[in-house]
Amino acid sequence: MEFNKLLKVLHTLIFVVGILLFAGSIYLVVKAWPAKPSFDPKIFWIILNSTFLIFFIVSLNIARKYRPHLTFKRKSKRAPTAEEMVIIEHWRSVRHKAFSGDTNSMRLAIIEADKILDDVLRNVGFTAETVSDKILQILSDDLYLIRNKATDAHEYYLKLESDPDYEVDFDEVKKAIYNYEAVLKELNIVDPAEL
């Protein structure tokens, strides 16, 4: 507390000295007018200002290094992890099966795709038992895309699974596979452009 007062006194003192110097320089100019004074007070002030300026620039140059470094790169592309590589490989085989034209392969593709979705959702952190419950755990509205696509795809899977005689239609399979793929894409696991 005492030191703070001292600091205030010091600052006031510096200010008073400055005012006195300023008054003195005005006095010099006015007294000698219209002739020039023997010592031009502007020179003194310019020298003082340059000293302060140099002090400021030097301090600023050092202080620059202590500024917080916030800059970061946005949307950097990263290499897939080993776990994701496995999923990508698996996904390739699923796509291959789905577009083979054979109804049994198509049925198998949908079942495998659902298994992948199940694993992926579990890895991300949804702990419910079935895929339907896991989808229900997605609460954020920013993720409506994932929620809707996963719901649509999983509905088709449930139809296939519950009824062995259900006739597999290629268009519907295609739609379901694209829905699964959209979810994987949203999760940054599979990039359809690279498949």
**Among residues 73, 82, 164, 194, the one that binds another protein under rule CB under 8 A:** 73
User: Least distance from C-beta 131 to another protein, angstroms?
Assistant: 14
Q: Show the binding pattern over residues 89-128: x = contacts another protein (CB under 8 A), - = does not.
A: --------------------------------x--xxxx-
| 160 in Cβ contact with 110 (< 8 Å) | yes
Cα–Cα dist 6/13, whole Å: 10
- If one asks whether residue 82 binds another protein (CB under 8 A), the answer comes out as no
Cα–Cα dist 122/128, whole Å: 8
- If one asks whether residue 59 binds another protein (CB under 8 A), the answer comes out as yes
Amino acid present at 31: K
Cα–Cα dist 76/89, whole Å: 23
Q: What is the DSSP letter of 37?
A: P
Q: Give the number of residues in contact with another protein, rule: CB under 8 A.
A: 54
Cα–Cα dist 115/98, whole Å: 15
Amino acid present at 43: I
Cα–Cα dist 73/67, whole Å: 18
**Among residues 56, 144, 166, 170, the one that binds another protein under rule CB under 8 A:** 56
Contact positions vs another protein (CB under 8 A): 1-4, 7, 10, 14-15, 18, 22, 25-26, 29-30, 33-34, 41-42, 45-46, 48-49, 52-53, 55-56, 59-60, 62-63, 66-68, 70-74, 76, 78, 121, 124-127, 137-140, 142-143, 146, 187-188
